Structure 1
Amino acid sequence: MSAAEQVALAHYRQRRQLIDALAAVARRAWRRVDRDDIARSWAAQLVEVVALTNAAQLAAARTADDYLDQVLDVQGINPAREGRLVPASVAGVASDGRTLAGLLYEPAVGTLSAIKAGADVDRALAGGYALLDMMVRTQLADAGRTADQVALAARRHVGGYVRMVVGNTCGRCVVLAGKWYRYNAGFRRHPRCDCIHVPASEDTGRDIRTNPRAWFDSLSAAEQDKQFTKAGAQAIRDGGDISQVVNARRGAYGLTPAGARITAEEARAIRGGRARGRLEAVDVYGRQLFVTNEGVTTRGLAGRRLGARDGSKQGRYRAAKTPRLMPESIYQIAGNDRAEALRLLKRFGYII
């Protein structure tokens, strides 16, 4: 691990302590909700939760300038800045622009909606807590990342950052890890994402590379299956390109990409509603198969391999007529024929 990575990891651990402490406060507050008067009792608890979330965001933001100074210094980059970050500017607000109070009241709304729809009260309250935990963790991490990026923008001698994955990360983050981004590039993340910025020049960033395949190989087979699904992990083990496999799942029917805000679909899933995020089979020439619309135009590898045509003269890219199969369906079709599975993985753009 490089010196820059060590500094970044220490920075992450400091932030993670704040996140865990805030999550513990939120858990205790939710336990005090009166099951017979959920809305009023949560509104009373919310005063403390919002105040402490704001304070935690402020504390996280205050570490940004010192972190930038240290991580740039160990890379031999001049840490001089045009100005200092104002920590309060990134605290006290949700990452989607709402007030913290408005955002953090949603678990009560979700719980009441679930009860109204027929859910058991205990189950509905558990779903509300899951949503609350996700929210406070995400909002604190977002405030810290925003502070880091603002502090980075103030350093004229550094052009960007490398995305570093930490902890038990997900496949969507792994394929983005180790890449160098300009200082003003948005930091793509999902709820509960732990990834962090490591400020670096385009040259020194090579020392902070996270190799997605090496990370995949470091996991046990069970962990690989859990992070990428059994079929997706098997496709990678068979030689599939990890980015192709993960990105295909992003556009699969029945999947929704992770966004900055907890969506209504995610909230319903948390409350025990319909399981959005699972694959759904569609009819393909009379057979129920899993397909994706990701990468099926001429701009995508799979699209070119499947015969997509360039319709750019009309200002659009036409998708291939042949549906792009997901790894699940490829293995279903190939059965125990490894050669056929590999042929299909290549045809549908999972192996390059």
Structure 2
Amino acid sequence: MSAEQVARSHYRRRRLLVEALAAVAKRLWLRVDPADIARSWTTQLAELVALTNATQIAAARSADEYVDEVLDAQGINPSPAGRLMAASVAGVASDGRPLASLLYEPAIRALSAVGAGAEVDRALAGGFAALDTMVRTQVADAGRAADQVALVSRPAATGWVRMVVGRTCGRCVVLAGRRYSWQADFDRHPHCDCIAVPAGEDTADDIRTNPRAWFNRLDEIEQNRQFTVAGAQAIRDGADIAQVVNARRGAFGLTPAGARITADEARMLRGGRDRGRLQVSDVFGHQLYVTTEGTTTRGQAGIRLGARRDRVKVENARYTSAKAPRLMPESIYKIADGNRDEAIRLLRRFGYIT
């Protein structure tokens, strides 16, 4: 198979996982009692958290195989410096807090809407819309984070190319086919279907996409959907696609998976709070994103940190908590500052690869 075929097959497998989890989330949300939203959703939450965590692991588990296959399709020997620990990118929301905290937010959203005077059915519909976006985004983010960890662990992959799949959107089309360095963040939006295709120095040309060619392949209805009626007409009249997209308000909001989220996402995911478990901290002189999740000795990072420890009680169980913060993968790439060996060392230290 070509690199593009490998990437599309990888996307389809991940998509099946996302759709299966979204279907379960919908089924569980339909059990919510309109007269007792908080309690009834809490009774469903444990099952959804466990399934979301398991789906994140399943999405991440294929990353090593995917990167090996896509590099092999380009005639590049993968030669990994380490193998991904799939569980290391699971169990944590995109803002760094536990999944349970995130997945309870739809109930808060629904209750807030009722408190503001909305009909219960409409409030529950809004809560479900938030839940659907959450579960889809968390699985996709975990998968993308795993793909990049696997890429960084293979020094022959000098970068990656952004490939658009599915129906996509104008924001992504203007980025289609662009080549990025190995440490570059993957910018995405909720429900984004784009994927990163690992590449060598002068390979993966076959999956590069010309935005104008992509636009010309669409029928007029789809052009209007992706770029708005006025925007699509401007492009048909000869306007530059990037200029049209960037002039629209909807062009903003692409952010890296697994570390930073848009203001709109933050309001939805955090229920109005300033932040979750993900924090900006000064680490070795850099302002980096860290999380407190996964730093107990029951987590991979906690096992490896080797920092001074203290005992804390959580729900009558004893955990050993590491004082050092756990770096998110995106922050590891930044602190490595282009040094691939240092990035691999830090990924290993913080439990992302073996």
Q: TM-score range by the shorter chain?
A: 0.7 to 0.9
- The answer to whether residue 157 in structure 2 is matched with residue 153 in structure 1 is no
- The answer to whether residue 208 in structure 2 is matched with residue 212 in structure 1 is no
TM-score (norm 1): 0.72
AA aligned opposite 1:215: W
Q: Kindly report which structure 2 residues correspond to 1:97-246, keeping only aligned pairs within 5 A, or say none.
A: 97-246=96-245
Could you list the per-position Cα deviations for residues 35-58 of structure 1 after superposition, in whole angstroms to 9, with x for gaps in the alignment? 000011111111110100000000
- Equivalent-residue separation in structure 2 for 1:95 and 1:220 (angstroms): 35
- Equivalent-residue separation in structure 2 for 1:158 and 1:140 (angstroms): 24
AA aligned opposite 1:83: G
Q: Kindly report which structure 2 residues correspond to 1:73-112, keeping only aligned pairs within 5 A, or say none.
A: 73-112=72-111
Aligned residues of 2:253 and 2:262 also touching (Cα < 8 A): no
**Computing the radius of gyration over CA atoms, which structure comes out larger, 1 or 2?**
1
3-state SS, counterpart of residue 175 of structure 2: coil
- Equivalent-residue separation in structure 2 for 1:234 and 1:132 (angstroms): 35
Deviation at 1:210, TM superposition (A): 1.1
How many positions carry a matched residue from both structures?
A: 265
3-state SS, counterpart of residue 204 of structure 1: coil
3-state SS, counterpart of residue 181 of structure 1: strand
Q: Evaluate the alpha carbon distance shift between residue 261 and residue 38 of structure 1 in structure 2; reply closer, same or farther with a 3 A threshold.
A: farther
Aligned residues of 1:191 and 1:262 also touching (Cα < 8 A): no
3-state SS, counterpart of residue 55 of structure 1: helix
3-state SS, counterpart of residue 71 of structure 1: helix
Deviation at 1:205, TM superposition (A): 2.6
Aligned residues of 1:110 and 1:267 also touching (Cα < 8 A): no
- Equivalent-residue separation in structure 2 for 1:183 and 1:256 (angstroms): 24
Deviation at 1:256, TM superposition (A): 5.3
AA aligned opposite 2:114: I
- The answer to whether residue 3 in structure 2 is matched with residue 4 in structure 1 is yes
Q: Evaluate the alpha carbon distance shift between residue 266 and residue 222 of structure 1 in structure 2; reply closer, same or farther with a 3 A threshold.
A: farther
Could you list the per-position Cα deviations for residues 191-238 of structure 1 after superposition, in whole angstroms to 9, with x for gaps in the alignment? 111111100023113221011111111111111111111111111111
Q: Evaluate the alpha carbon distance shift between residue 118 and residue 191 of structure 1 in structure 2; reply closer, same or farther with a 3 A threshold.
A: same
Could you list the per-position Cα deviations for residues 58-89 of structure 1 after superposition, in whole angstroms to 9, with x for gaps in the alignment? 01111000111111001001110101011111
Say which of 253, 258, 261 aligns to 1:257: 253
Aligned residues of 2:21 and 2:135 also touching (Cα < 8 A): yes
- Equivalent-residue separation in structure 2 for 1:202 and 1:177 (angstroms): 18
3-state SS, counterpart of residue 203 of structure 1: coil
- Equivalent-residue separation in structure 1 for 2:64 and 2:193 (angstroms): 19
Deviation at 1:266, TM superposition (A): 8.5
AA aligned opposite 2:45: L
Could you list the per-position Cα deviations for residues 291-344 of structure 1 after superposition, in whole angstroms to 9, with x for gaps in the alignment? xxxxxxxxxxxxxxxxxxxxxxxxxxxxxxxxxxxxxxxxxxxxxxxxxxxxxx
AA aligned opposite 2:135: V
Q: Which runs of 5+ in 1 are unaligned?
A: 269-352
Could you list the per-position Cα deviations for residues 77-109 of structure 1 after superposition, in whole angstroms to 9, with x for gaps in the alignment? 111010101111100001121111111111111
Aligned residues of 1:175 and 1:243 also touching (Cα < 8 A): yes
- Equivalent-residue separation in structure 1 for 2:264 and 2:97 (angstroms): 16
Q: Which runs of 5+ in 2 are unaligned?
A: 269-354
More relative contact order, 1 or 2 (CA 8 Å, 6+ apart): 2
Could you list the per-position Cα deviations for residues 228-253 of structure 1 after superposition, in whole angstroms to 9, with x for gaps in the alignment? 11111111111111111111214x8x
AA aligned opposite 1:168: R
Which of the two has greater strand per residue?
A: 2
Q: Evaluate the alpha carbon distance shift between residue 233 and residue 6 of structure 1 in structure 2; reply closer, same or farther with a 3 A threshold.
A: same
Structure 1 segments (4+ residues) deviating >6 Å: 265-268
Deviation at 1:257, TM superposition (A): 2.5
Identity of aligned residues (%): 67
- Equivalent-residue separation in structure 1 for 2:265 and 2:148 (angstroms): 30
Q: Report the RMSD for the aligned CA atoms in angstroms.
A: 1.8
Q: Evaluate the alpha carbon distance shift between residue 226 and residue 266 of structure 1 in structure 2; reply closer, same or farther with a 3 A threshold.
A: farther
